[in-house]
Amino acid sequence: MCGIFGIDGDPGMEEAAAKMAYLGLYALQHRGQESTGIVSWDGSQLHLKRGMGEVADIFKQEDLARLPGYRAAGHTRYSTAGSSAVTNAQPIVVKTSMGPLAIIHNGNLVNDRRLRSDLEADGSIFQTTSDTEVILHLMARNPRADVVESLMTALARVQGAYSLLLVSSQGLIAARDPNGFRPLAIGRQEGTGAACFASETCAFDLLGAVLERELEPGEVVVSRGGELESYRLPVVPEPSRCAFEHVYFARPDSNIFGREVAAARKMMGAALARSAPVPADVVVPVPDSGVFAALGYARESGLPFEFGLIRNHYVGRTFIQPGQSIRDFSVKVKLNPVRGLIEGRRVILLDDSIVRGTTSRKIVRIVREAGAREVHMRISSPPTAYPCHYGINTPRREELIASAHDVEAICEHIGADSLAYLSLDEVLSSLGGAKESYCAACWSGSYPLRVDARNSAQQELFPIRSADDPGL
So which residues are the catalytic ones?
A: 2
- Residue 71 within binding range of its own copies, rule CB under 8 A: no
Interface residues for its own copies in 220-239 (CB under 8 A)?
none
Nearest to 27 by CA among 45, 10, 7, 42: 7
Q: What is the dihedral of CA 371, 374, 379, 380, to 10 degrees?
A: -90
CA dist 471 and 287 (Å) reads: 39
Note whether 332 and 315 are within 8 A (CB).
no
Count other Cβ atoms within 10 Å, centred on residue 117: 11
* Mode of pairing for the β-strands spanning 2-8 and 71-77: antiparallel
Q: Which stretch binds its own copies (CB under 8 A): 105-113, 242-250, 338-346, 374-382?
A: 338-346
The interface with its own copies within residues 154-173 (CB under 8 A) comprises: none
Min separation Cβ 392 and its own copies, Å: 21
* 206 versus 235: smaller Cβ distance to its own copies: 206
Strands 335-337, 438-439: pairing kind: unpaired
33 binds its own copies (CB under 8 A): yes
Quote the least distance from Cβ 211 to its own copies, whole Å. 10
Minimum separation from the CB atom of position 52 to its own copies (A): 5
Applying CB under 8 A, which of residues 1, 3, 6, 19 lies at the interface with its own copies?
19
**Strand 335-337 to strand 309-311: parallel, antiparallel, or no bridges (unpaired)?**
antiparallel
> In the range 103-122, which residues lie near its own copies by CB under 8 A?
120-121
Residue 79 near its own copies by CB under 8 A: no
Scanning residues 427 to 466, which ones bind its own copies (CB under 8 A)?
461-466
Cα distances (Å, whole numbers) of residue 36 to 32, 91, 168: 8, 8, 20
**Stretch near its own copies under the rule CB under 8 A, chosen from 48-56, 170-178, 230-238, 376-384:** 48-56
Neighbours of 13 (CB within 10 A): 22
Q: Residue 28 to residues 39, 115, 183, 251: CA-CA distances in angstroms?
A: 16, 30, 13, 8
With CB under 8 A as the contact rule, the residue among 77, 137, 176, 241 that binds its own copies is 137
Q: Does 145 bind its own copies (CB under 8 A)?
A: no
DSSP string, 363-376: HHHHHHHTT-SEEE
22 binds its own copies (CB under 8 A): yes
Q: How far is the CB of 159 from its own copies (least distance, A)?
A: 21
Under a CB-based contact definition with an 8 Å cutoff, are residues 400 and 382 in contact? Answer: no
Among 44, 82, 398, 459, binds its own copies (CB under 8 A): 44
Where does this chain touch its own copies (CB under 8 A) — which range of 154-162, 214-222, 249-257, 404-412? 249-257
Residue 341 in the binding site for its own copies (CB under 8 A) = yes
Least distance from C-beta 131 to its own copies, angstroms? 15
Report how far residue 340's alpha carbon sits from residue 122's, in angstroms, rounded to the nearest whole number: 67
Rg of the chain taking only CA atoms, in angstroms = 23
The answer to the question of residue 50 lying near its own copies (CB under 8 A) is yes
> Minimum Å distance from CB 12 to its own copies?
14
Give the full edge-to-edge strand order of the sheet including 418-421.
282-285, 346-351, 374-379, 418-421
Out of 110, 147, 207, 250, which residue is the one contacting its own copies (CB under 8 A)? 207
Q: Taking CB under 8 A as the rule, does residue 27 contact its own copies?
A: yes
Determine, following the binding rule CB under 8 A, whether residue 100 of this chain makes contact with its own copies.
Answer: yes
Count of chain residues binding its own copies (CB under 8 A): 110
Residues 285-324 vs its own copies: string with x where CB under 8 A? ------xx--x---x----xxxx--x-xxxxxxxxx-xx-
Task: Answer yes or no: are the C-beta atoms of 422 and 275 closer than 8 Å.
Answer: yes
Give the residue, chosen from 228, 236, 263, 451, that forms a contact with its own copies under the rule CB under 8 A. Answer: 263
CA–CA separation, 381 and 52 (whole Å): 33
CB 105, min distance to its own copies, A: 16
Strands (E), 299-340: 309-311, 335-337
* Conformation bin of residue 409: beta by default, left when phi > 0, alpha when psi is -120 to 50: alpha
Interface positions, 353-412, toward its own copies (CB under 8 A): none
Q: What is the DSSP letter of 398?
A: G
* Residues linked to residue 94 through DSSP beta bridges, in sequence order: 101
What is the rounded distance in angstroms from the CA atom of residue 178 to the CA atom of residue 338? 47
Out of 228, 278, 333, 409, which residue is the one contacting its own copies (CB under 8 A)?
Answer: 333
Q: How far is the CB of 430 from its own copies (least distance, A)?
A: 13
15 vs 374 by CB, closer to its own copies: 15
Residue among 10, 80, 114, 142 that touches its own copies (CB under 8 A)? 142
